[in-house]
Amino acid sequence: MIKKMVLTLAALCLVFPAMAFADDPTAGTLNMGINSLWVMVAFVLVLLMQGGFILLETGSTRMKNAGHVAGKTIFTAGLAALIYWAVGYGFAFGADSSINGFIGFGDFLFDPSIISVDDGLPTTLFFLFQLAFAAVSLSIAWGGFAERAKLSSYFIFTIVFVGVIYPIVAHWIWGGGWLAKDGAQDFAGSTVVHLSGALAAFAATVLLKPRIGKFNKDGSANEISGHNQVFTALSVLLLWVGWFGFNAGSTLAIGDGFFGYVGFTTMLGAGAGAVAALLISWAVNGKADITTMLNGTLAGLVAITASCAFVEPWAAVVIGLVAGVLVFYSAKFFEKIKVDDPIYAMSVHGAAGIWGTLANGIFATDELAAKVGVGQGGLIDTGSWHQLGVQALSVLVCGVFVLAASFLVLFLIKVAIGFRVTEEQEIIGLDLSEHGAYGYPEQLKKGQGIQG
Amino acid sequence: MGDPVRVQLLKQIGKADNVNVLRNLRDQVHEHMKGILQMSPVEQFNEQLNELHDTLICRSIILAEAEMARLGMGSPPVPYAYLLFGSGGRLEQTLSSDQDSGIVFEDSASDSEETTAYFQQLTSIIVSMLHQSGYPLCEGNVLSNNPEWCMSLTEWKVKLNGWFGEPSWEAVRYLLILADGRSVYGDHRLAFELRDQYFNNVIEYPNITRRMLDNTMRHKVLLGLFGHLLKEQYGSDAGSLDIKYGAYIPLVNAIRLLAVQAGIRETSTLSRIRTLALHDQLPSEEAAAYEQAFLLFLRLRLMTTEQNEDGLYANNGKLSSRSLSREMTEELKSALKTGKKLQRKVFKRTTGRLM
């Protein structure tokens, strides 16, 4: 017994010195660790934005499609992870051998080192963070598909969008591509993520044509109300919270605490968007419209996404206010040209995304541009039109590319296998036609939707 | 007044001996009046149209009485007055107004149950005849064959006191309906007595106008913050203006409230405005502006989309904004501004606060 105790103590003594005299972590390791932790947190926040998209899209559409709308978001996020791992990441950030700044190439079936090298941010975390962004852009695109696209089209479009289209734009602006070299400022993705998603949605909704019952023969529009405004409001809160990972996380470092400033301008943009949208709808329509206000909040967030690191607080407020008003008129405009945009993706992410990217060319300051290390100050700070020109070019080029590519892919889907469900299926609802079960089985009896 | 067709129609209505003839005449009235709508001054047109409606309604009542006699129910056991509410009461019926009616009969010395039963049956016949003649039923069931609106004078007074004493939202709504009540047929004295009671109660319960205000200001004028017109956003009427509830009714409501406060017993909006001015309740230039705005609303209301549903003349009160010329649009905007000003004035006068 005593022998055993002595042996144990001796063994412990052998271990103890090793613990006591192990090297302190270097400043570099600490820095790497804390940055990694922040990016991990930010990744989780951005991934959680999918919850926002589930509620946003479900709340804005009808009960008979609820299960489908919610479920497909999870499925496509899963598929996106595999596709981004297999090819998407490689096209966006692969190796150094970028071909003329047009596309990354390498790191397919991405196999990162298990730990960080050189005390930098582990590539695993960089991958996860970028993947979450790609998934957000994808979920924005689904707005144009809502309530009438076949499930198979979601499958195919995920592969092409996350595998090729999105990574190319990300490469151009963030992956050291030609627009990055030009000094295009898009801090967290007003163009890369939001405008890309919105234009894919636009291509989809144009090819699909409006939902049954959205427009009358004389061209006037009917209101197809979403089935749960509380979901929609809650979704905006979820997205709003997630956005702090999206924007502030895009610093990819704790550093000198600059991420705090980015979060700060983000908050101002969102608030201004909410207020402006509510007031404009009240002033113009005589009623303060909740849906418009929610869209305005998101539009404020989308617009400030490009500029959050480049502008002063007052400018963040102005950018948000303009976005809130813009989203109201944009929604009216799309309805007027008879484009059915059930989730308002084109107005919230498209119009506000363009505005946010251009806003850099107006409001960016030299000081902040130098701090971030991209481009230069905008019109107000420098009096020069240069940055605005760069921003306009990046919007135009990325926009045309995404629109054309998405249109092509979706058109091929339409021709080859059909894009839209049949009229009967649309009327019954996609829950039943695509999945065989309702999201709200107690509320809906099978086939009930046929009369409605 | 120099319109032989109309005079002829009035004569024929006065001689109609069954409901089919009435229906036929109603259709002729509709066609004829529609035809002269564009050329007539609106006030004159409105008067003529309402005279025709009144005559049609009176003739229906006479035919219904005869029908009762034929059924062996005899003649009315006591004198009564047939009341019109809503646009009929205000002498502002359009080409397609629905029925809002009630009846007040003298207290019977003998068998009151039998009396009530008589009027129940009579009013059922009247309402159904008018329905067959193309007058839709009131959706709120304010109809003379509804026992709640078919009572003896004493019963009416008890009911009135109850409404004034406990002005719930519903009670105030009924009081506002009653404010436009007008006797179209029968013993007008009964209706006057009922109105005496009504206006005495207004003085006795001064808080009632405050409650009436809450109820009448619900309908907002169709004018946005920037002075632009608020149009319907969605549906088959997208782009239309809700003339009835966004222009006409707000003005009618506000003027009615001023009249009730001032103890003015007129029921038509125009005579209310004129009497208010006469009694120095409104400055004459303001009154003239309200009158002008009202006549415009009346004209636009006569132009609103008509729907013929199962032979009933109906109307959704909405007017396509495309059918308005630029001058008319400007005129409408300025009239709506006048309406808004009036609403503010009524609010301030009733509550002592700014709106």
Between these two residues, A217 and B9, which has the higher pLDDT value?
Answer: B9
Of the partner residues B224, B236, B237, the one whose CB lies closest to the CB of residue A286 = B224
Alpha-carbon distance of A149 to B198, in angstroms, equals 64
Residue B47: inside a domain:
no
Inter-chain Cβ pairs, chain A and chain B, closer than 8 A = 33
The whole-model pTM stands at 0.87
Q: Quickly state the pLDDT bin for A11 (edges 50, 70, 90).
A: low
Element (DSSP H or E) covering residue B151: strand B150-152
**Which position has the token pair 């009524």?**
B346
Chain B residue closest in CA terms to A218: B236
Mean pLDDT of A34-47: 96
pLDDT in tens, B14-49: 999 999 999 999 999 999 999 999 899 999 999 999
Chain B CB contacts of A211 under 8 Å are none
CA distance B224 to chain A (A): 6
Handedness of CA A247, A253, A258, A263 (dihedral sign): positive
Chain B residue closest in CA terms to A287: B224
Chain B CB contacts of A284 under 8 Å are 224-226, 228
Instruction: State residue A450's pLDDT score.
Output: 45
3-state secondary structure chain A: CHHHHHHHHHHHHHHHHHHHCCCCCCHHHHHHHHHHHHHHHHHHHHHHHHHHHHHHHHHCCCHHHHHHHHHHHHHHHHHHHHHHHHHHHHHHHCCCCCECCCECCCCCCCCCCCCCCCCCCCHHHHHHHHHHHHHHHHHHHHHHCCCCECHHHHHHHHHHHHHHHHHHHHHHHCCCCHHHHHCCCCCCCHHHHHHHHHHHHHHHHHHHCCCCCCECCCCCECCCCCCCHHHHHHHHHHHHHHHHHHCHHHHCCCCCCHHHHHHHHHHHHHHHHHHHHHHHHHHHHCCCCHHHHHHHHHHHHHHHHHHCCCCCHHHHHHHHHHHHHHHHHHHHHHHHCCCCCCCCHHHHHHHHHHHHHHHHHHHCCHHHHHHHCCCCCCHHHHCCCHHHHHHHHHHHHHHHHHHHHHHHHHHHHHHHCCCECCHHHHHHCHHHHHHCCCCCCCCCCCCHHHCC
CATH number for position B215: 1.20.120
Dmax (CA) for chain B in angstroms is 65
Instruction: State residue B50's pLDDT score.
Output: 97
Q: Quickly state the pLDDT bin for A263 (edges 50, 70, 90).
A: very high
Hey, what amino acid is at A180?
A
Instruction: State residue A272's pLDDT score.
Output: 98
Instruction: State residue A12's pLDDT score.
Output: 64
Task: Tell me how far the alpha carbon of residue A43 is from its chain's centroid.
Answer: 12
Torsions phi, psi for B286 (to 5 deg): -65, -45
pLDDT in tens, A112-125: 888 877 778 999 99
Fold of A32-420: Ammonium transporter fold (1.10.3430)
Mean pLDDT of A315-330: 98
Instruction: State residue A449's pLDDT score.
Output: 46
Residue B118: inside a domain:
no
Contact A220 B224 (CB under 8 A): no
Hey, what amino acid is at B221?
V
pLDDT in tens, B132-166: 999 999 989 999 999 999 999 999 999 999 999 99
The residues near A45 (Cβ < 8 Å, ≥ 6 apart) are A241, A242, A244, A245, A246, A249
Instruction: State residue A18's pLDDT score.
Output: 52
Contact A220 B226 (CB under 8 A): no
Considering only CB atoms, which residues of chain B are within 8 Å of chain A? 220, 222, 224-226, 228, 230, 233-239
Alpha-carbon torsion, ordered B13, B15, B20, B26, to 10 deg: -10
Neighbours of B200 (CB within 10 A): 13
What tokens appear for B145 in the block? 């064959």
ipTM: 0.79
Instruction: State residue A61's pLDDT score.
Output: 96
Contact A283 B230 (CB under 8 A): no
CA distance B231 to chain A (A): 8
The residues near B112 (Cβ < 8 Å, ≥ 6 apart) are B152
Indicate the number of domains in chain B: 1
Domain of B213, in residue numbers: 207-355
Q: Quickly state the pLDDT bin for B320 (edges 50, 70, 90).
A: confident
Residue B41: inside a domain:
no
Chain A CB contacts of B230 under 8 Å are 285-286
Q: Quickly state the pLDDT bin for B304 (edges 50, 70, 90).
A: confident
pLDDT exceeds 60 at position A231: yes
Contact B234 A220 (CB under 8 A): yes
> A222 touching B, CB under 8 A?
yes
Lowest mean pLDDT among A317-331, B163-177, B215-229, B258-272: B215-229
Hey, what amino acid is at B341?
K
Question: A96-100, A445-449, B130-134, B231-235 — which one is most confidently predicted on average?
Answer: B130-134
Alpha-carbon distance of B225 to B221, in angstroms, equals 11
pLDDT in tens, A411-441: 999 999 999 999 999 999 999 999 999 999 8
A76, A143 in Cβ contact below 8 A?
no
Q: Quickly state the pLDDT bin for B186 (edges 50, 70, 90).
A: very high
Of the partner residues A220, A283, A284, the one whose CB lies closest to the CB of residue B235 = A220
Mean pLDDT of A16-31: 71
Mean pLDDT of A24-28: 85
pLDDT in tens, B228-261: 999 988 888 888 999 999 999 999 999 999 999 9
pLDDT exceeds 60 at position A19: no
CA distance B239 to chain A (A): 8
Instruction: State residue A22's pLDDT score.
Output: 58
pLDDT exceeds 60 at position A110: yes
Chain B CB contacts of A220 under 8 Å are 234-239
Residue B292: inside a domain:
yes
CA atoms within 13 A on the CB side of B115: 19
Between these two residues, A407 and A97, which has the higher pLDDT value?
Answer: A407
Alpha-carbon distance of B300 to A319, in angstroms, equals 43
Residue B87: inside a domain:
no
Mean pLDDT of B59-70: 97
Alpha-carbon distance of B92 to A301, in angstroms, equals 53
Between these two residues, A303 and A2, which has the higher pLDDT value?
Answer: A303
pLDDT exceeds 50 at position A6: yes
> A82 touching B, CB under 8 A?
no
Instruction: State residue A452's pLDDT score.
Output: 37
Alpha-carbon distance of A54 to B214, in angstroms, equals 42
Contact A220 B220 (CB under 8 A): no
